Structure 1
């Protein structure tokens, strides 16, 4: 996903363009990592000092619902990143220090037979947490 694609999705879904929304998407495009709502608020308040945490949460929820952002949770806190631009099924390695991600191309569900005829799997999520090489070196 890139900024122009995200803004087109907003427009196609009937949501108004605002400079704040573009700046929010641009932040995620530049960071390429998971960010907390607090991280986003701190960044956005540099340009928009009156911006509230409610505005941040409303837009993060909207962007997640429109699949512009992906959401995960660690240490009891939701974090967000720009959705991957690939359409193929994949999972992520996530650095718990800096929030950077890397794709895992294989899926562990392929090797895990569910085998329950009364349960239909409709989706799953697989994330591996640790420290990236840069954070280990620090």
Structure 2
């Protein structure tokens, strides 16, 4: 799915959940759709301050949490900080997958193998309702950093 249509779909989903449309909210969504990596609220705040002086960090963080709760964004904790990325399913990823996440730059790469079949076999009688599997490391570009 093209980036612009993915953003439009995310804005539609935001409205469907009762959130009011604002240009600031669309800018948050657009930034994350273009970034295609996990981004800290601080980075987003620095970017938005250039366009909307005076926008508060708390407002941005609250929107990020809200968008994650309705599925527009995915979130993860990296080194004690919450980070957010545009939801892969809104960008056309229709298959189940997980992520490799670079601890330095936040870039992600899809991992299509899912270990849940192995775990389901070990949990006879249990029903797995949800899961999350992430692999952390350094991408090719960040191998020699610090």
If the length of structure 2 is used for normalisation, what is the TM-score? 0.87
Aligned with residue 108 of structure 1, among 108, 115, 122 = 115
Q: Deviations over 1:59-93 (max 9, x none)?
A: 01110111000000111111100000223221000
User: Within 1, Cα distance between the matches of 2:81 and 2:11?
Assistant: 26
Match of 1:45 in 2: 49
Aligned ranges 1:65-80 → 2 under 5 Å: 65-80=69-84
CA RMSD of aligned residues (A): 1.5
Match of 2:104 in 1: 97
* Contiguous gaps of at least 5 residues in structure 2: none
Q: List structure 1 segments (4+ residues) > 6 angstroms apart after TM superposition.
A: none
What CA distance in whole angstroms lies between the structure 2 residues aligned with 1:115 and 1:69?
Answer: 30
Residue matched to 1:58: 62
User: Gapped runs of 5+ residues in structure 1?
Assistant: none
SS at match of 2:88: coil
Distance, in Å, in 1 between the alignment partners of 2:122 and 2:55 is: 46
Q: CA deviation at 1:57?
A: 1.4
